[in-house]
Every structure is written in C-alpha cells, then in structure tokens.
A and B are shown apart, each in its own frame.
Chain A
C-alpha cells in the first residue's frame, strides 16, 4: 500500500499496518468499555453489604459479635465490614471519597456530625420511607434517644442517619490538681469567671510542668464550646422547615418538641460578631496569663497521657474519654466531669454518629435492615461494651457502664441534653472540610498575640469562611 506524503511516496509495511490495527482495536476496546473501576477486579464485586466504619483491628471482636447476631437474624444478607483507620473524621471522609472515586463505594458508612451534611447533600439516601414503614419497630428507639441527637441528622426535612453514639464537650477536671489547689467540685451552673478563678488557683499551686487548661484546635472541643456558651458561633445558625412527620410521629409529647426543625443550616459566616470577639478575647487572656495552652492545629494526641499523669488540670471532652483514662491508669476518683461553664447561656456542643445508606448502595433494603438492627439495644450493647463513647440510648448510660472506671458524676453526660435541650451539634455544613480549615488556621493566631492580632485573625477568618461557604456544596 502506498500513500503520498509531502510529495514523496511512502511505503507502509505490513508490520506498520498490523501495529496500527492492533492499536485501533485496543483504543476501540478502551473507548467502548464502561468506566473501569475497582469492582472489576475479580473477587471484589460480590453481593455482600459493604459497611465502612472508622476503626482499627482492635475493635474487631465487638464488631464480629454484632455481625454474627445480625447474620442470625438475616441469614440471607452477607455483611462485610471495612474498618478504616483515620486520624480524625475529616481523614476518614477523605478515604471514603477516595473509595467513591475508585468506583468501590461502600453501601453503608458510619458518619459523624462533621460529615453528616456532606453525605446528606451528595452521597446518602434518606431514611424517611424506611422509618415511616417500620414506625412500630422504631418507636422504642426514639423513646430512648434524645431528639437533639436525631435533629443533628435531619437535613432539609429528611432524616439521613440514626444516632448510635454521641459526645458533648463537657469539662473534665483532675481531682488531684483540684485538691492541691484547695478546690472543691464546681457547681453545675459555674460561670466562665469561676472557671478562670479555678485555673488561676491551680496555676498558683503548681507553677511548672503543669497546664491548668489544655484545649485543642479543632471543630469539636476547641473554641466552639466557648462560642456556644456565649450564645454565638463562627457561623450563623438557622433551621430548615419540615420534619414534622418525624417530630409529630415520635416526639409529639417531648417537652422540647417546639424547638425541633427540619435540620440545621449554616449558610453565612459570623466571625465578625462581637460575642465571637469576646469569646476569643477570653481565651487569649487565658493563654496570655499562662492558664491555658496555645492550641496546636490537629493537636490532642498526647492529651490522655498528659491528663493521666496529672499534668493537666482541666480539658473539654466527652464520654469517649473514660475508657482511655482508665487504660492510662487513672482510678475512678482521680478525675471527674462537670457541665461546661455558663456564660450568656449554658448551651453545650455535641457530636454524634450513625450509619448512612449510600445512594449507590446495591440493596438499600438490606442496608436499612443493618441500620435498624444496629440501633437495637442488643446490637448497641455488643458494640459499646465499654465507655469508649456515650451510647445514644439514654437507658444504656447507666452505673454499670462506668462501674470501677468513673467518673463519679457520669450522669452529667446524658444530663447535658436533658437539662440543656438547646445544646447544638458541631457546626458542619456540606463544605465542612473547607470551613474547618478556615476556622482552625486562624485560631492559633487569634489567641496568641495582642488585641490587634486578634482582630486581624477574626477578619481573616470571616474572609476565609465566606470563601469556604461560597464553594460548591
């Protein structure tokens, strides 16, 4: 075969022709193939219900007991649990999104408040039809779970998850440090001024190798509990309409029924609010006077060890800390917990977590059966045998759970919701990752310098939050 090229005749050899044919066949095959994904790998695409949770091999025994109990109930549903290790929830969601990008999304994902709206907006399937269908079975669950936890999983009038566990930012204190400073247990309604005085007393009693108040720079337990106590936040909080089907169906007689909505919305930044400035200024004062640490970004990994070795006086944390302190060698009376100090209000911050069904789930009915089973008392007792978190069921937060481990006032955990029903979730819109970065990156600067630096940091935060919320959701 010959062809004219630049005025010269060019010979096309048989080999060239065969090569071109081969390349064409490969190209056509690739082009016509549906998107190649991880499920095309032999052995990956079976029909089991794939469940992704944040966890490690250490939790495997409790998990397996729950799977076995589920399999006895539903032998027709094959369950495969993937425990994904992650530093924090943001890291966990990143890994789930990578699985989505690879074409191997799980069917069910354990999602915390930090990612609830991201999943509701983009990835999750609402549970409304299932909850309505199995209302008779679900009534017992909702009777045992505080509506604030459920509301955290409402998004634009639909329910996307059932809360399994949760934690509020309460105030832990080291009883040895308190005793050394001659301090008694604070009153339930102690104020931010009382708190500061106690820190000063502890500082006076121990001048070195000790921090009266240790806090971390993150969305949970960082600056936000102080903002909530001061009746403000770094984002403007509004509520969606809708959700009456749930509230009237399950919480009609709850004293806080009138407070409930179709879900939280955080649509605008609020870092330039005067009370935000006031709250940051308070924390800046603690840092300046050596009463509190300058918080590191992403810090907190050494917290349990430092607290257990009596080098920290107070820190905000939830029920998830009890088992860690016990394992670090703290006795039941070596620490205790109290409500977060009052300022304008005593509204607390909490985070909760539960299973979400992915839009891409192959068998959503099977996924719902897993969620329904997991919310049962039997399953939750198998999954949470120790105080590694606070179970969403009020009846499970009992003396038996904390026996021999403390704290003495464990009732504070669930009372946070019962006594302060306006207690709110971690502010986490669908753009949570960008919002969290915008908050975290400005906190250290805000509390580390003079008043001028604080104002600059808050205006920078306002600008960063505007950008973050403007990003596609």
Chain B
C-alpha cells in the first residue's frame, strides 16, 4: 500500500495541529506544515526517550534472559566448559527423569489445593470483614491479613520450622495439651506437604483477600436490596448475587494465585528441602537444583521452558473458560 493513500493521509491531517498544540501551545494555526512536522518528530523522540528506560530494562532483564534460556535448553553447559549443542536431548532427559515428573505432579497438586484453599479463605474472610465488622475493625483486619505478604518467605519458613518441630515445636505442645500425640509434621510426606501448603496459604492469602474486598465494595447495595425484596436471604444472597458479580475479581485473583503457586520455591526449600523423599519437591526447586547444584544449566532451562509452557496453557485456559463463568456488570 502506498503511503500516499487517503486512508493513511487522513489521520496525519488531524494529528498535526494537535501535535503542534501540544509541542508549542499558543502557536495557533499560523505555523506551516514544516513546523508541524518538526513538532511531531520531536514529540516522537520525546516519547522514545521516556520509554527507553523501560524498554531497555525489559529487554535486558526479561526479553534477553527468556530468549537465552530457550536457546540454552538446546545446549549442555556447566558454566565452566564451553556449551555443546545437544538438540532436544535435554528435553528428552527431563521428561524421562522420575524426579522431574514427580516434582511437576507435586506442583500441580500443590496448585490445586493451595489455590483453592487460598481463594476460599480469602473470599470467606473478605465477606466476613466487609459485612460483619465495624469500620475500624475492617481497617485492622485488612492490614493484619496483608501483613504476612510483606515478610520474607525464607524468614517465615525458618520460624515455621521451629513451630512445627516434632519434638520441641509450639504446635505440638498445644496439641499435647489436648492429649494429641506429637505429629511428625516435617518428617512424613503427608505432614510436610500439609505444612508447606499451610505456610504458603497463610503468607499469600492476604493479596487475594484485598482483591475480594475491592470487588465486594464495588457491588451496588441496590442489587442486594433487590435480591432481598425477591426473598433471597443469607447464603443464597451470596450464591446468586455476590459470587456472580465478583466473578471478574475471582478471575484475576485465581490467575495471579495460580501463576504464583506454580512457581513456589521458598517455602518447600527452607521447610523441607523437598523431602521426605520427593514429597514436597516442586518444579522450580528442580530447576534450581539442576542449575546451581548439578551444573546442568541446559536441563534447568529445558525444565524452565516446560514450566513456562504449562503456565501459559493454564492461563490461556482460564481466560477461555472465563467467557462462560465471568459476568461483568
């Protein structure tokens, strides 16, 4: 298509005075086409200058590492010797590795349980705080529930280790008061998985809680009043009014919670180191172990690529499903 086509020309004619006005307010219509072109030109440069730091940062720290790690997945590299091209060998080794398979299964299981728990808890508490609490208590609980999120996950996991210690932990001490024998929280597969989920949810549900608080505040009171007139009370009001109108918030909260849970690392690494056995080993832990402990950077990249594809597929599926289940006011 020629650049002189009327379709391309039309916006130029309207844009020039606007651009000129922005670049040189008060200049009016007296300036000729050359001045207007120059103003548009300098405005574009200005835009690029303002965008440059972000573009540069994203290029250097996001785009290049992504491309590099995809490329690296096709090489064997121990960071000491020169990399060797191995084609799809890393991918086939990774797929056959039982530890990798178990860690991906663990991660999926973790996501299902932790996200359900996290969203359910956040929603229940948000409804309770928003509806049942006086304003001053609402402020307190909003801060209190968000507080764990600003703590370092490693520090939280370290003190949780003490709390859940089988012999000397406070949790078992409280249980002993009720006559319950000491639970081997961190040394049995079931116990350690439960603790990892519990610690993760405790630290992360505050974010979903805040999203739900925002979502609940945006639901018009009139809708509830109309529902009451129609005879809806108690949980039926929430089922037929709150949940449908909260669905856009639920979509955002679930997408963010799932992406974050798929990348879980700190809590299982500090609490259990992935054990006992492989019971709490996650996909990101295997990436870390492959790269920085076994020096198999190619394999680590291959696992990273697979995890990225899974995250993309799940997120795409969520948005596709959202067309059926999300209602906008």
Residues of A bordering B, CB below 8 Å: 8-9, 11, 90, 94, 97-98, 100-101, 122-123, 209, 211, 214, 217, 293-299, 301-302, 306, 311, 431, 433-434, 437, 440-445, 448, 457, 460, 464, 467, 471-472
| Contact A101/B76 with A293-B167, A448-B276, A460-B277 known, Cβ cut-off 8 Å | no
| Contact A97/B187 with A297-B273, A441-B276 known, Cβ cut-off 8 Å | no
Indicate whether B289 reaches chain A with its CB closer than 8 angstroms: yes
In the complex, how many angstroms separate the beta carbon of B114 from the nearest chain A beta carbon? Answer: 21
In the complex, how many angstroms separate the beta carbon of A307 from the nearest chain B beta carbon? Answer: 11
| Contact A442/B277 with A302-B168, A437-B289 known, Cβ cut-off 8 Å | yes
Q: What are 23 inter-chain pairs, A to B, with CB distance below 8 A?
A: A8-B1, A98-B292, A100-B79, A101-B79, A122-B80, A123-B80, A209-B168, A211-B167, A294-B187, A294-B188, A295-B187, A297-B273, A298-B273, A299-B186, A311-B168, A434-B293, A440-B275, A441-B276, A441-B278, A441-B281, A445-B277, A448-B276, A460-B277
Residues of B bordering A, CB below 8 Å: 1-3, 76, 78-81, 97, 99, 158, 161-162, 165-168, 184, 186-189, 270, 272-278, 281, 289, 292-296
Please determine whether A100 and B80 come into contact, CB atoms closer than 8 angstroms.
yes
Q: Which 10 A-B pairs have the closest CB atoms?
A: A433-B293, A444-B276, A294-B187, A297-B273, A297-B275, A94-B292, A101-B79, A298-B273, A441-B275, A434-B294
Please determine whether A302 and B162 come into contact, CB atoms closer than 8 angstroms.
yes
In the complex, how many angstroms separate the beta carbon of B301 from the nearest chain A beta carbon? Answer: 13
B81 partner residues in chain A, CB cutoff 8 A: 122
A472 partner residues in chain B, CB cutoff 8 A: 76, 78, 295-296
B168 partner residues in chain A, CB cutoff 8 A: 209, 302, 306, 311
In the complex, how many angstroms separate the beta carbon of B290 from the nearest chain A beta carbon? Answer: 9
**CA of A94 to CA of B291, assembled, Å:** 9
Please determine whether A90 and B79 come into contact, CB atoms closer than 8 angstroms.
no
**CA of A211 to CA of B81, assembled, Å:** 48
B276 partner residues in chain A, CB cutoff 8 A: 297, 441, 443-445, 448
B79 partner residues in chain A, CB cutoff 8 A: 97, 100-101
**CA of A306 to CA of B273, assembled, Å:** 22
A302 partner residues in chain B, CB cutoff 8 A: 162, 165, 168
**CA of A211 to CA of B182, assembled, Å:** 13
Of A122, A311, A448, which is within 8 A of B187 by CB? A448
| Contact A94/B293 with A100-B80, A297-B275 known, Cβ cut-off 8 Å | yes
| Contact A8/B2 with A293-B166, A441-B274 known, Cβ cut-off 8 Å | yes
A123 partner residues in chain B, CB cutoff 8 A: 80
Please determine whether B294 and A471 come into contact, CB atoms closer than 8 angstroms.
yes
Please determine whether A296 and B186 come into contact, CB atoms closer than 8 angstroms.
yes
Closest to B297 in A: A101
B277 partner residues in chain A, CB cutoff 8 A: 441-442, 444-445, 457, 460
B273 partner residues in chain A, CB cutoff 8 A: 297-298, 440-441
B166 partner residues in chain A, CB cutoff 8 A: 293-294
Please determine whether B275 and A471 come into contact, CB atoms closer than 8 angstroms.
no
A467 partner residues in chain B, CB cutoff 8 A: 97
Please determine whether B296 and A471 come into contact, CB atoms closer than 8 angstroms.
yes
| Contact A431/B294 with A100-B79, A441-B274, A444-B275 known, Cβ cut-off 8 Å | yes
| Contact A122/B1 with A298-B273, A444-B275, A460-B277 known, Cβ cut-off 8 Å | no
**CA of A97 to CA of B79, assembled, Å:** 8
Closest to A305 in B: B168
A460 partner residues in chain B, CB cutoff 8 A: 277
Of B165, B281, B292, which is within 8 A of A97 by CB? B292
B189 partner residues in chain A, CB cutoff 8 A: 445
Of A297, A301, A306, which is within 8 A of B274 by CB? A297
**CA of A373 to CA of B1, assembled, Å:** 77
